[in-house]
Structure 1
Amino acid sequence: MATDKLIAMKVFRRVAELGSFTRAADDLDITAATVSKHIAFLEQDIDTRLINRTTRRMNLTDAGLAFLKRTQALLDDLEEAELEARGFQAEPRGTIRLNAPMSFGLTHITEAIDSFLERYPLIDIDLQLCDRMVDLVEQGVDVAIRVRSELADSSLRAKALRQSRNVVCASPSYLTNAPEIRSPADLAAHNCLLFTLHDRPNVWQLGDEAVTVRGNLRTDSSLSIRQSLLRGLGVGLLPWFLVQRDIEAETLVPLLEAYPPKGYTIFALFPPGRRQPTKVQLLVEHLDQHLGDQPYWE
């Protein structure tokens, strides 16, 4: 493969993954004009438009999306081949694009990333914290961490890391002047804070009972709900990994423990049809060790 074409493919990959010619230029430490020349060369070489672009935005064509998937796999394989050619004597290097939920990422992933980067100083991590599912191929994500009871997209390659659970809880200050909560039905008399990224935010499955709840706060941030619970706004249904320390400190109180919510799995997800590069495998192994045989928050 000609050197010019290989460089152009690397530039195209960063443009597609970052969604911007300017951001790709900054990332690659070249000019935006040089980025444009590489993309034009690549489109002319394969006689196909890969990117539709205007003065305000850009998006991949169908051909561009398909080409990106192949380009990512090819460049990752080349990186692996270089590592093998060195006899694995060289330190793993390169960039890992990691996507994780905001709450789990901030409370449990960033610490593991710090120790990973200390161990592998030639690796860079591009961390995206987002509670919403993203297209791993289009966004150029190497590995995504997701907290789900089940996976809707069966085309993604997945590795189950740990099991965890949710808990109903509230602050002592809220409970002091609120009606008693002895059964799930009692929640009807309470201000329940709703996490909008749940499949059914206002239906809480507690044990064998599905109860409809209502409240004056709806948000796509479980971190925001935690803060509101600590300030005494109402009752919440949150991951144990997020509130375990609050419950131990008795700033939040677990409720309805005889009616445990449905459990869920913490998954590592990978783009379909691609073998994970060594650097990605090392990161997932490091996360696995960091979480412990039994999650430390349990």
Structure 2
Amino acid sequence: MRLPDFEAWAIFAKVAELGSFSRAAEDIQLSKPTVSKAIGRLEQTLGVALFNRNSRHLSLTEMGRTLLGHANRILAEAEAAETEARGGTQRPSGLIRIAAPMTFGIGHLSPALPAFLAQYPDIDITVDFSDALVDLVAEGYDVALRIASLADSSLRARKLCDVRLLLVATPEYLDRVGRPDHPRDLETLKSFVYTNKPAPGKVRLRHIKNGNEFVLIRSSRFRADNAEAFLPALAAGLGYGLFPEFMVGEALASGRFEQILPDWEAPSIALYLVTPSSSFRPMRVTVLLDYLVECFGQPEWLGYAQEKDKGRITKS
């Protein structure tokens, strides 16, 4: 009986992980022709194409995505066996590819990574910052950070923390236009509208105490596909906006921004760690996931609220 081509399966997993024959060859210290021949050999054995190839892009075929879980398990089991044979002394190593939202990634993920890199000197990291929803498997990502209300999918998601969406403006702006008593009062005011969502400018608000709901349709003064672009105009008192708490928590705490209609709340979203569905993953990814859970399970921005009677902002 002919044994499976374990080397080719492991190389396939590496090429899919790194998204490139050249990067895979460099990572596993083989020549690019050797890597290419291994993939060709596996495709010939299986009778299917694993990758779509052109001069600029390499992506998994549908069958390649289906088989990648098997390849990852083969590679992960081999790595685990080698670690156990060495008495568990092997240090996590290799490249981790991360996808992260632009503003959160730069403002919160990036400051958290130096300590991780110092703790694991044999791990390298590539982060792609984008608010676009990427295909983790097809594009070879190990993990993604997503801020959303996640729909069902074949991916594995772990909730790290809730992310409140807050209506905010500067106190000076609210002094000028008045502090609304009901969401309908906002319909005549210009807003900053984030466009990278299905219904830009539309938000369903619920009264925290009585449960009443109101669908607010915001007119826009400024529209963009990245909410960080609004912050200078917001700070200049040119309108109001709906922002995730991690973007405006510090300014709320200092009094530079003020929460509008604190008795009304937008639908909750959360920060998630999302990974491909395979039950096996390299040690380097496991230690990163554990680290990010520790960093963002109880982040510093949670729970800013205004104490109106005292005229100051504190954490609730």
Q: Give the TM-score, by structure 2 length.
A: 0.80
- Give the Cα–Cα distance (whole angstroms) in 1 for the partners of residues 143 and 59 of structure 2: 22
**Pair 1:40-2:40 in alignment:** yes
**Pair 1:295-2:299 in alignment:** yes
Match for 2:253 among 248, 258, 261? 248
- Give the Cα–Cα distance (whole angstroms) in 2 for the partners of residues 6 and 283 of structure 1: 27
Alignment match, 1:148: 148
- Code of the residue aligned with 2:51 in structure 1: it is I
**Pair 1:280-2:285 in alignment:** yes
Higher share in strand: 2
Alignment match, 1:214: 219
- Give the Cα–Cα distance (whole angstroms) in 2 for the partners of residues 84 and 222 of structure 1: 47
Alignment match, 1:62: 62
Superposed CA deviations along residues 139-186 of structure 1, whole A, max 9, x for unmatched, are 22222221123x212432222211220111123454454454332112
Q: Residue 153 of structure 1: SS of its match in structure 2?
A: coil
Residues 297 and 55 of structure 1: CA distance in aligned 2, closer, same or farther (over 3 Å): closer
Whether the 8 Å CA contact 2:191–2:221 is kept in 1: the answer is yes
Residues 286 and 19 of structure 1: CA distance in aligned 2, closer, same or farther (over 3 Å): closer
Whether the 8 Å CA contact 1:69–1:137 is kept in 2: the answer is no
**Pair 1:50-2:16 in alignment:** no
Whether the 8 Å CA contact 1:190–1:234 is kept in 2: the answer is yes
Q: Residue 43 of structure 1: SS of its match in structure 2?
A: helix
- Give the Cα–Cα distance (whole angstroms) in 2 for the partners of residues 28 and 178 of structure 1: 62
Residues 59 and 145 of structure 1: CA distance in aligned 2, closer, same or farther (over 3 Å): closer
In percent, how many aligned pairs have the same letter? 36
Unaligned runs of 5+ in 1: none
Alignment match, 1:159: 158
- Code of the residue aligned with 1:168 in structure 2: it is L
Deviation, structure 1 residue 242: 1.0
Deviation, structure 1 residue 30: 6.5
Alignment match, 2:307: none
Deviating more after overlay: 222-231 vs 85-94: 222-231
- For 1:215-230, list aligned pairs within 5 A: 215-230=220-235
Alignment match, 1:138: 138
- Code of the residue aligned with 2:201 in structure 1: it is N
Whether the 8 Å CA contact 1:53–1:59 is kept in 2: the answer is yes
Unaligned runs of 5+ in 2: 207-212, 303-316
- Give the Cα–Cα distance (whole angstroms) in 2 for the partners of residues 272 and 228 of structure 1: 41
Residues 196 and 28 of structure 1: CA distance in aligned 2, closer, same or farther (over 3 Å): farther
How many residue pairs are counted as aligned between the two chains? Answer: 295
Q: Residue 151 of structure 2: SS of its match in structure 1?
A: coil
- Code of the residue aligned with 1:198 in structure 2: it is K
Q: Give the TM-score, by structure 1 length.
A: 0.85
- Give the Cα–Cα distance (whole angstroms) in 1 for the partners of residues 288 and 16 of structure 2: 23
- For 1:89-168, list aligned pairs within 5 A: 89-149=89-149, 151-168=150-167
Deviation, structure 1 residue 62: 2.4
- Give the Cα–Cα distance (whole angstroms) in 1 for the partners of residues 89 and 267 of structure 2: 46
Deviation, structure 1 residue 240: 0.6
- Give the Cα–Cα distance (whole angstroms) in 1 for the partners of residues 101 and 80 of structure 2: 28
Whether the 8 Å CA contact 1:98–1:144 is kept in 2: the answer is yes
- Give the Cα–Cα distance (whole angstroms) in 2 for the partners of residues 32 and 147 of structure 1: 37
RMSD of aligned C-alpha atoms? 2.9
Q: Residue 228 of structure 2: SS of its match in structure 1?
A: helix
Deviation, structure 1 residue 85: 1.9
Q: Residue 160 of structure 2: SS of its match in structure 1?
A: strand
Q: Residue 215 of structure 1: SS of its match in structure 2?
A: strand
Alignment match, 2:201: 202
Q: Residue 217 of structure 1: SS of its match in structure 2?
A: strand
